[in-house]
A and B are shown apart, each in its own frame.
Chain A
Amino acid sequence: MWNPHQPLSKSTRYGLAGSSYLLVLLVWSAIAFFELASSNALPAPWEVAQGFMVLASYNEAKESYLLVDATIASVTRIGLATLLVTSIGIPVGILMGSSPKINAVVGPLLDPFRSAPIVSVLPILVIWMGIDEALKVAFLVLGSVVYLVPMTRDAIVAVPREAYISLKDLGATDLEAIRHGVLPMAMPRIWDAVTVAVSIMWTYITVAEYVNADSGLGQLITHAKRFSAMDQVFAGILVIILLALITNISLVAAKRALFPWETE
């Protein structure tokens, strides 16, 4: 039991994970069944399932599938933000990790934001960027870039010195030693950083879509809350959690496929 290195078989692992989900569902059902909480505060699982069905089915009034449209909108925003944040954040992180001087200049500007309440800059962002699509994507980028950049830098710094020195000894220039020695070694951890960045975006999506809510899962939840449709609020949140989970699992699986040498 108390051994951090104890190997678990797949069936044990999935069995335990499944039963913990089941336990939560059971407790939740019990609370609803015995009416220990008002259905306004905590709707029953079956009510949430109904709420989900309402969202997922064709909406006559709006002439569309609300959940499908909202999911597409949110996923598109996160996809776009991921593209932006990686194409800015990874190069900056690599530069900072590769040169202590650059790190000394950029680091102090960036590091405080890791613990700053990024949500509080939203009003400023509104002034700068308006309230349309650009704002939502910019907020997601801002929220995740303050994690992606330092994590990328740390990934570079964590590569053992030997990687750099060995390449220098083989006749590499400084940049070649980074490019052919350090960078390939840092890639798995940089991938981890991207995974974290995307996860963070999923946690910020409701905030991003709160302003001028016109589409997306965040809007769906805000809208449902306004009409006190708690079942739909819960259904929306569960959909976000599920999507975040799927993203995460795919990125972890992709890592294993991209960097098979790391686990060898």
Chain B
Amino acid sequence: MAYGIQLQGITQCYPDPSGEGEITIIEGLDLCIAEPNITMLLGPSGSGKSTILKMMGGVRPYGVVTPSGGTVSINGELCTGEHPDAVMVFQHYWNRPDLTIAQNVALPFRLGLWKGRVSENEQKERVTWAMKMCGLEHRADNRPAQLSGGQNQRVAIARALALKPKILLMDEPFGALDAQTRKEMQALLIQLRAETGCHVVFVTHDVEEALLVGDRIVVLSTHRPSDIALDFNLIDPKPRDDLWLRSTRIGKIETEVFRALSGEGSPKDLRELGVEVNR
């Protein structure tokens, strides 16, 4: 079997906010990501996107979920602990304000999961490379406060890249950025993905972002427990621009996605638009 992430029969319950009983957020979810591409996990807030994404990084002791039921496999092996192949980037990046940008990018190498895995020399090479990839090569000695929000998010991405992850998990990474910066970062991500060949799983609630960036789009519905309402591939070449986004065909696809989000629609309608539907 090809390298990939496989979720089987995932169920997740959380204690009900009212304090009584449990609510089931996800029930019996199956998802297999085998192609190295950008897979978008699209859904309204509260649908369980972050929960699913964190499971893909393995089960970690903080804030990361042990599925109430089902299994997660990475590369065909059951994944029950934090997994060194998977690295996460979040909307709320956090960079150590007292360290330089280069030191921030190198920070994970000082931590348990990575310590001793990579030689000093290679660490340096990777940090330089990752900063260059993210356009930070002239910022090595700056501190986070001297950089803009977008540049700080670049630091977070560079830090992830320096770990050469096979799987890059991104939770609404550009959600806090202004529109212009966001476009830049989307373009950067597409380019980085192509150059590194890693798997990217990207969580968003923004339909346009999903269409602009995604190779595959997995739509979660608003139902509770939520399920996969739609799952299709979008093979249109990138970068995709606003003109492409406004085209009639994409407009129709967008409509179908919105219908799927609200629990209507059917894959049949999408197939008629010449889209490869996985489910």
Contact = CB atoms under 8 A, between A and B. Distances in A.
B107 A180 contact: yes
Given A176-B112, A261-B143, A264-B143, A168 B107 contact: no
Contact of B112 (A163, A165, A173, A259): A173
Nearest to B97: A261
B111 A172 contact: yes
Contacts of B196: none
A27 interface: no
A264 B97 contact: yes
A180 B110 contact: yes
Chain A binding surface SS class: helix
A212 interface: no
Contacts of A184: 96, 98-99
A176 to B, nearest CB: 5
B90 A169 contact: yes
A176 B107 CA distance: 11
B245 interface: no
Interface string B80-104: 0010100110101010111100000
Interface string A154-177: 000000001111111111111010
Given A173-B112, A261-B145, A163 B94 contact: yes
Interface string A134-166: 000000000000000000000000000011111
B266 interface: no
B61 interface: yes
Given A166-B90, A262-B97, 18 more contacts: A162-B94, A166-B94, A167-B111, A168-B61, A169-B60, A169-B90, A170-B87, A170-B107, A170-B159, A171-B111, A171-B112, A185-B98, A259-B98, A261-B98, A261-B143, A261-B145, A264-B143, A264-B145
A171 B114 contact: yes
Contacts of A164: 62
Closest 5 CB pairs of A and B: A171-B113, A166-B94, A264-B145, A168-B62, A172-B111
B92 A169 contact: no
Contacts of A170: 87, 107-108, 111, 113, 159
Interface string A224-264: 00000000000000000000000000000000000101101
Interface string B15-58: 00000000000000000000000000000000000000000000
Nearest to B98: A261
Contacts of A162: 92, 94
B146 A172 contact: no
29 contacts: A162-B92, A163-B94, A165-B62, A165-B63, A165-B94, A166-B94, A168-B61, A168-B62, A168-B63, A169-B63, A169-B64, A169-B88, A170-B87, A170-B107, A171-B82, A171-B111, A171-B112, A172-B113, A173-B111, A173-B112, A180-B110, A181-B96, A184-B99, A185-B98, A259-B98, A261-B98, A261-B143, A262-B97, A264-B146
A171 B110 contact: no
Contact of B111 (A165, A180, A259, A262): A180
Interface of B: 60-64, 82, 84, 87-88, 90, 92, 94, 96-99, 107-108, 110-114, 143, 145-146, 159
A187 to B, nearest CB: 8
Contacts of A163: 94
A181 B94 CA distance: 10
A185 to B, nearest CB: 8
Nearest to A171: B113
A170 B169 CA distance: 12
Contacts of B113: 170-172
A172 B62 CA distance: 10
B60 A168 contact: yes
Contacts of B88: 169
A164 B60 CA distance: 14
Contacts of B82: 171
Nearest to B156: A166
Interface string A174-205: 10100011001100000000000000000000
A171 B63 contact: no
Contacts of A173: 111-112
B11 to A, nearest CB: 23
Nearest to B88: A169
Interface-centre pick from B87, B111, B159 (highest chain A CB count, 10 A): B111
A163 B82 CA distance: 19
A259 B97 CA distance: 10
A166 B89 CA distance: 9
Nearest to B143: A261
A134 to B, nearest CB: 38
A52 to B, nearest CB: 44
Nearest to B114: A171
Contacts of A167: 111
B149 to A, nearest CB: 15
A167 to B, nearest CB: 7
